[in-house]
Structure 1
Amino acid sequence: MKTSKRTRMRAVILSGLPLAGALLSTAASAQSSVTLYGIVDNAFTYSSNQKGHSNFYLSQGNLQASKFGLLGAEDLGGGTKAIFRLESGFNSLTGAQSSAGLIFNRQAYVGLSNDRYGTITLGRQYTPYFNMVGALGPTGVLTGATGAHPGDLDGLDTTLRFNNSITYASPNFAGLTFAAQYGLGGVPGSVANGSNFSAAMRYDYQSFSAAVGYVKLKDITTSQSLGSFADNSPVNNGYATASSSQMIAAAARYTHNDLMVGVNYSNVQYTPGSHSLFASEAVFNTYGAIATYRFTSNVTAGIGYSYTRASKANGIDDPAKYHQISLEQTYSLSKRTTLYALEAYQLARGKSLIASGSGVAIADSVAVVGDSQNTTPSSGPSQFVGMLGIRHAF
């Protein structure tokens, strides 16, 4: 029985469809990608003094914040890509969202990236100040839970984000990169009201890296573009009603074989407005040093010291002073799983302006280690925190 020519052609076409589908699938996967990533981090924790009592408890997000995210890119050709990131923080002890009502509280942005011209992104984002200076500062080496400067008042940990923001990041010019970010206030009739701004620059040359950054926060209590701000610690909650705040920070580090040493500095200013509960500008200066040493391929230890001093202002003649020392030891079971130990001690002296009821008051400064004890500060001048935990990345 003879087969018609049309039937034979149909058979050839049908037999080639699986191959064509495979080739199209390969081409599509080469041009675009979406990556699911995340971290789960829990630890046994001891604090010597939390509001007057010692405490042994489980804590989460210590070495790194517990989170999951989606990171995507589509190759548009000519060195240009469409990119996006959606990142959500969660409590890995209870499963609750880190920020109620915000499923992607950490980051949510979309943009375009070009190898030659740089990257533009729109959405909820970390500041260039954090991305560049924070990466070289205390929390870029030591964890923010116990290594951040007291109360993270300078935003070098992950507590500062801009909503409704546009960010430009440059390509790498022989080791030099820079970025600028503007958070739109969204106030009808005024572009400036409620807006925020950040800029930073970083330089890398062989084993040396340095960065400097700037942040200007306006209309702190009403701004629609200020995604989050650390004002819940007794270090700086007396200035939560500030009209504006300015942060300037710099950091540098040098690596030689298995040893890394670094220094960092930050200056934070709180400026009052007509509705503020304090009268004169307050300034905090912080000086820090960090070091790490890799003993073997899977064992590393780090140490950090910081000294923070407030200015004489708002009736305080003996301003707050904070000494903090932080230690970190990690043991990598694999590329994704790490056992860790963290220890930190802080000593506070002088007087602070603190939130008190519906107003503010002058009180003895109390210790608040890193960024993990903001809501559970010591009732006195000292606090020790120790942690033993496990972090798994996926």
Structure 2
Amino acid sequence: MKRAILALAAAMACGAAQAQSSVTLYGVVDVNLEYVNKVGVVPSAANGFNPGTGHSVVRENSGGYSGSRWGLRGTEDLGSGLKSIFVLENGFNADTGTLQQGGRMFGRQAFVGIKSDNYGQVTFGRQYTSLFVSIANFVPARFATQYEPAGVIAGANFREDNVAQYTGTFGPVTAIAHWSFGVGTALPQVNPGIPTLGGNGEVPGQFRRDSAYGAGVTYMNGPLGLGLAYDQWNPTIGTSNGTLKKAAVMASYSIGAGKVMGGYRWGQNKDQTGREFLRDDFYWIGGQYRVSAALDFTLEYDYQNLKNVGGNTHAANPWQIALITDYSLSKRTDVYLTTAYTRNAGLAMDSAASGFATSLALGNSYSLSSGQKSMFGAAVGIRHVF
């Protein structure tokens, strides 16, 4: 009898210990078939910064509505309201089985930290910037991979290596701040007036080189949402660094089954000598509407006012309108149609002003061909969430 009681106590203790920690496997597999017209090549010094003759293309892609990914997230209860947390998130191309984010094993996110029930959390590793996180709930398309101009809105550095980040939620207010010791993002030269940007950072004797920091605060109370955020990246240029700055304000309001949202983002990029090589204002507006439990629509309009692009102060201003229709077949599987029309840039508003970051990241060119003014794309896809 005594042995039975001891065995039961040991089993209960083991079960309690296991209940205090957890690891969750999750992911998304998203594939679509896409048509795009007037596609050129990404400009570079090798092709004389000429995107060449345009062609239409029909292709299979990974990640139209959500980037294909799998990940592990875990927590352990440390007592006294503290938990240790971690996230490891891999991005992959479902159409080819290859890795995204430059071949990183966990290129989407990789961090570990401590979370307090009362004071927020501190995390260390590869993470999203404060600007990106703050804007996420205020863009209608929710940073949908295919046509959302995320690299224009938040910068090509919206994920950064070597980050220390704080996040705290206090009632309706969420505050976030981060510092990166070395961003790890690099953009090649795509315009003769814009330098090659970025590198590995963390160079001995050059603490500022390729570092970055930012902060944001959002307010969500009932139907109303408000946000404010700032981001600065000091990318490697040659053996020194430049300064890329962005600041944004945004708002949202829910009305019945719909939600309207919009915002403004200011941007200024300077090289290592202090010369301004990009100055722009970016605006977005749109909304989401749920027709039924299974069907919803998303509409987004984006406009970029280019004041200076590589010394050109009279560049045509890009704009884009995008529509997403999504239909849920179950809690885990949905089908979607996403379309976009862009003027004075490629889809996702890819241009020299964004360093063609979308084309380079996805490996599918959205560079507008020489002499063309507009581009249209449409994709039909299926997404499964697990």
- 2:209 and 2:241 in contact (8 A); partners too: no
Q: Secondary structure at the match of 2:153?
A: coil
Q: Amino acid of the residue matched to residue 60 of structure 1?
A: S
Choose from 26, 29, 48 the match for 1:37.
26
CA distance in 1, matches of 2:5, 2:237: 64
Alignment of 1:244-393 (within 5 A): 244-274=243-273, 279-312=275-308, 314-348=310-344, 354=352, 375-379=365-369, 380-393=372-385
Counterpart position of 1:205: 221
Counterpart position of 1:153: 152
Query: Structure 1 pair 159/272, CA: closer, same or farther in 2 (3 Å)?
Result: closer
CA distance in 2, matches of 1:17, 1:392: 46
Q: Secondary structure at the match of 2:344?
A: strand
Q: Amino acid of the residue matched to residue 84 of structure 1?
A: F
Counterpart position of 2:109: 107
Counterpart position of 1:175: 172
Shift of 1:32: 0.4
Q: Secondary structure at the match of 2:272?
A: coil
Counterpart position of 1:6: none
TM-score, structure 1 as length reference: 0.80
- Higher mean alpha-carbon deviation, 66-75 vs 123-132, is at 123-132
- 1:115 and 1:171 in contact (8 A); partners too: no
Counterpart position of 1:82: 84
CA distance in 1, matches of 2:342, 2:364: 13
Shift of 1:320: 2.9
Q: Amino acid of the residue matched to residue 325 of structure 1?
A: I
- 1:194 and 1:222 in contact (8 A); partners too: no
Shift of 1:17: 5.7
Q: Secondary structure at the match of 1:86?
A: strand
- 2:237 and 2:271 in contact (8 A); partners too: no
CA distance in 1, matches of 2:237, 2:14: 50
CA distance in 1, matches of 2:38, 2:340: 13
Q: Does 2:212 match 1:196?
A: yes
Counterpart position of 2:189: none
Q: Secondary structure at the match of 2:262?
A: strand
- 1:42 and 1:92 in contact (8 A); partners too: yes
TM-score, structure 2 as length reference: 0.82
Unaligned 5+ runs, structure 1: 1-10, 224-240, 361-365
Shift of 1:190: 4.5
Shift of 1:309: 1.5
CA distance in 1, matches of 2:22, 2:98: 29
Q: Secondary structure at the match of 2:67?
A: coil
CA distance in 1, matches of 2:114, 2:264: 33
Q: Amino acid of the residue matched to residue 153 of structure 1?
A: V
CA distance in 2, matches of 1:211, 1:251: 5
Q: Secondary structure at the match of 2:65?
A: coil
Shift of 1:12: 3.9
- 2:268 and 2:276 in contact (8 A); partners too: no
Q: Amino acid of the residue matched to residue 386 of structure 1?
A: A
Unaligned 5+ runs, structure 2: 41-53, 183-201
- 2:343 and 2:375 in contact (8 A); partners too: yes
Shift of 1:315: 4.3
- 2:140 and 2:288 in contact (8 A); partners too: no
Counterpart position of 1:184: 181
- 1:247 and 1:269 in contact (8 A); partners too: yes
Counterpart position of 1:135: 137
Q: How many residues align?
A: 346
Shift of 1:171: 2.9
**Residue-by-residue CA offset, 1:201-259 (whole Å, 9 max, x unaligned):** 00011111111111100034579xxxxxxxxxxxxxxxxx9712111122211111101
Q: Secondary structure at the match of 1:308?
A: strand
